[in-house]
Structure 1
Amino acid sequence: MPIDAARALAADPRRSEIRWDHKDIQLYHLGLGAGRPATDPDELRYTLESKLHVLPSFATVAGAGMAMLGGLGAPGIDVDLAAVLHGGHSIELHRPIPVKGEAVSHSKVAAVYDKGKAAVVVLRSEVADADGPLWTSDAQIFVRGEGGFGGERGPSARSEDPDRAPDRTALQPVREEQALLYRLSGDWNPLHADPEFAKLAGFDRPILHGLCSYGMTLKAVVDTVLGGDVSRVRSYRTRFAGIAFPGETLRMRMWESEGRVQVAVTAVERDDAPVLADTVVAYA
């Protein structure tokens, strides 16, 4: 069997050293569409080194985001990458991410769930620097054709949107070249750049990275609900419910409650086709 759940769960964590500085932060923020208008003081917090703060979703690309790929090579995990989809992602922040850092990441398979016709592998990375834990990141990897092995089905994170009008709605245009810029932070999948490769994958043109939509959404919540204060974010999760294309507009509908914002993200030009669902930002 390509997935040996017991072996994967028992494997020792993989240790890697990661580092970043202001250039990595700025490039990531620009890849999310930050810097419009370029001289806006609120946007300079994302683009100018003397004023820089770090959007917590940077955790997904720190160290070029190698933890997820490394996890797919863990003992007991032998799958066809063509059958792999990034189903969802969550991060828990233990404290604000510094603009410059050196840290150690320990990555492991935290869970393997049997969904019947597919398996879900949860790849967890725990990152700490000399001052202690920084963040914990979970990637939910959906592997088609690998279910049916008799394992636990696992929890469901799905939740209905509130039955009321959203408290806020943000419209975020995706620049035509945004995927080309975002991929410089470490995700070199040609699906996001090469039209011929995209057609082989069943798309008429390259698609935007799901984690780019993820970062764009967190930025919108920080800017509109949290007053631009990235340090208030405690955790952030989403399910990748669909795709977005460069050149489209993302509609982000937000419902606020105490310490929590629920968000639904859709593509405006495709009749509000879903992009992100079950999306929750918890904050202090």
Structure 2
Amino acid sequence: MAIDYQRLLERRFEPIEHAYSRRDSILYALGIGLGADPLDPRQLAYVYEEGLRALPTLPVILAYPGFWAKEPDTGIDWRRLVHAEQSFELHAPLAPEGRVIGHNRITSIFDKGAEKGALLTQQREIVDTASGALLATVSQVSLLRGDGGFGGPRNGAPPAPHVVPERQPDASCDLPTLPQAALIYRLSGDTNPLHVDPTVAQGAGFTRPILHGLCTMGVACHAAMRALFDYNASCIRSMRVRFTAPVLPGDTLRTELWQDGDIVSFRTIALERRVTVLSAGRIDTQLH
């Protein structure tokens, strides 16, 4: 079944109301590796209820619409869907607990051709339930490997990837991931069996369950906070990344960082396997 371009573009998503607690914020932070040093008060600020702070990447799990591509009305070959890019922009400070509403919509579908698939971009606006204030905008690009050549537009592709400088990194940070990292992270809402069930993972072409891409993105943000911002979450305004290879739980992730004014470029490498897992990374800051 081929996708219906116009029908998919106009697909309606019901608003999702999400009440999240301090416990949820702590669980998310633990899922991306905060608290590895129990004597570091900078990390404890994100995993201890006394003076608890929200991580800047928290919006990626708020009002999450779930794996809707699997629904039969989409026509998407969901087994061949790949999470290609992710970004978020913060419009207001996030509290470690609250009630929000997520408004999700598909913003573009770009036909790369029958052999190359299609790119689908979706956007989620997260607003505060009480005030209606816009807190964050979360965007995701998915590669629909089995759905190209449906006759859709061949222009309007997502923006070109951010270019990382060619000079030596200004800083780098190595962070280990736990063998059970995916089992912890999935408790924040992404229960795709690819990340827990060996049979499902092998059916998708992997030797074992892989780590969530959004968890890897969180680890990279943690690395930037640690190496450049002394764990000050308020420095980060937005973040964008391209997923280039899967991470295996237990990998050590090295994030290389370049700082040019208010823009931080980065890439992340799985050290033991010497594989670049995140590329074209960009963090916009508000340092001044």
For the aligned pair, the TM-score class normalised by the smaller chain equals: over 0.9
1:88 aligned partner: 85
Distance 1:191 1:179, change over 3 A: same
Give runs of ≥4 in structure 1 deviating > 6 Å: none
- Per the TM alignment, residue 161 of structure 1 is displaced from its structure 2 partner at its CA by 2.6
Alignment of structure 1 residues 95-106 onto 2, 5 Å? 95-106=92-103
Q: Given the alignment, which residue of 163, 172, 196 partners 1:193?
A: 196
**Structural mapping, 1:1-284, within 5 Å:** 2-63=2-63, 65=64, 67-70=65-68, 73=71, 77-116=74-113, 117-129=116-128, 130-131=130-131, 132-148=133-149, 149-153=151-155, 154-270=157-273, 272-284=274-286
| Contact 2:210/2:246, CA 8 A, preserved across alignment | yes
Deviations 1:26-71 (A, max 9, x none): 00000011112113101111110112111121111124x3x25246
Question: For 1:116-158, what per-residue CA distance to the aligned partner results, in whole angstroms no more than 9, with x for missing partners?
Answer: 2211111111111133001111111111121222413413432
Residues 156 and 103 of structure 1, relative CA distance in 2, 3 Å threshold: closer
CA–CA distance in structure 2, aligned partners of residues 74 and 236 of structure 1 = 32
What amino acid does structure 1 have at the position aligned with 2:218? G
* Cα gap change, 1:206 to 1:10, in 2 (>3 Å): closer
Are the counterparts in 2 of residues 95 and 231 from structure 1 also a CA contact under 8 Å?
no
Distance 1:98 1:152 in 2: 41
In the alignment, the residues of structure 1 paired with residue 159 and residue 257 of structure 2 have an alpha-carbon distance, to the nearest angstrom, of 21
What is the RMSD computed on CA atoms of the aligned residues?
Answer: 1.8
Higher helix share: 1
* Distance of 2:72 and 2:126 partners within structure 1: 18
Amino acid at match of 2:282: V
Moved more, 241-250 or 155-164: 155-164
Per the TM alignment, residue 175 of structure 1 is displaced from its structure 2 partner at its CA by 0.9
CA distance in 1, matches of 2:254, 2:124: 30
Gaps of 5+ in 2: none
Q: Counterpart of 2:272 in 1: which secondary structure?
A: helix
Shift of 1:93: 0.6
Distance 1:81 1:155, change over 3 A: closer
Q: CA offsets per residue over residues 93-123 of structure 1, 9 Å max, x none?
A: 1012111111111111111111222111111
Alpha-carbon offset, residue 232 of structure 1: 2.2
Deviations 1:172-203 (A, max 9, x none): 11111111111111111222122222222222
Describe the SS at the equivalent of 1:38: coil
Task: Give me the whole-angstrom Cα distance separating, in 1, the residues matched to 2:269 and 2:275.
Answer: 5
Distance 2:203 2:104 in 1: 32
CA 111–74 in structure 1, closer or farther in 2 if over 3 Å, else same: farther
- How far does residue 8 in structure 1 lie from its aligned partner after superposition? 2.8
Normalised by the length of structure 1, the TM-score is 0.93
Aligned-pair identity (%): 35
